[in-house]
């Protein structure tokens, strides 16, 4: 899966430590090229995840998610540029204010 497939949930599972439902976005696009398009695709992908969670579809598709906190987890392959860092910081605040967790980290960590 990839960021370009904005309507597809890349991965979903339960974190054994936190007991949260982790919905992972696999971001494999290089930030050094076409940043605006990359940000647009990522925003569309995140919005699809939010809709999946908030509509109740997540529970229908993955019943183990019931009564668990949802966390959107972006795993990115390429180093973030300044725009990407600012984007993630803003998104994190907005999503967490909605009661959904948000994390982002490098695949290379």
In the chain, the number of structural domains is 1
Residue 3 in any domain: the answer is: no
Residue 5 has a pLDDT of 84
The predicted model gives 18-38 an average pLDDT of 93
Residue 40 in any domain: the answer is: yes
The predicted model gives 21-36 an average pLDDT of 92
Residue 4 has a pLDDT of 81
How far, in Å, CA of 54 to CA of 56, rounded?
A: 5
The predicted model gives 25-30 an average pLDDT of 94
Phi first, then psi, for residue 74 (nearest 5°) are -95, 125
Residue 49 in any domain: the answer is: yes
Report CA dihedral (97, 99, 100, 102) to the nearest 10 degrees: 40
Domain containing residue 49: 11-106
pLDDT surpasses 80 at 1 = no
Give pLDDT tens digits for 45-96: 999 999 999 999 999 999 999 999 999 999 999 999 999 999 999 999 999 9
Phi first, then psi, for residue 67 (nearest 5°) are 65, 25
Sorted by sequence, the CB contacts under 8 Å of residue 106 that are 6+ apart come out as 75, 76, 77, 79
């Amino acid at each position: 899966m990839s960021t370009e497939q904005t309507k597809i949930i890349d991965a979903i599972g339960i974190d054994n430590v936190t007991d949260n439902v982790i919905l992972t976005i696999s971001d494999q696009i290089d930030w050094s090229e076409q940043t605006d398009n990359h940000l647009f695709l990522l925003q569309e992908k995140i919005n699809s995840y939010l809709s999946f969670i908030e509509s109740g579809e997540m529970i229908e598709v993955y019943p183990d998610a019931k009564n668990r906190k949802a966390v959107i987890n972006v795993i990115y392959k390429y180093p973030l540029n300044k725009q990407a860092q600012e984007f993630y910081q803003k998104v994190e605040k907005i999503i967490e204010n909605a009661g959904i967790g948000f994390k982002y980290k490098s695949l290379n960590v």
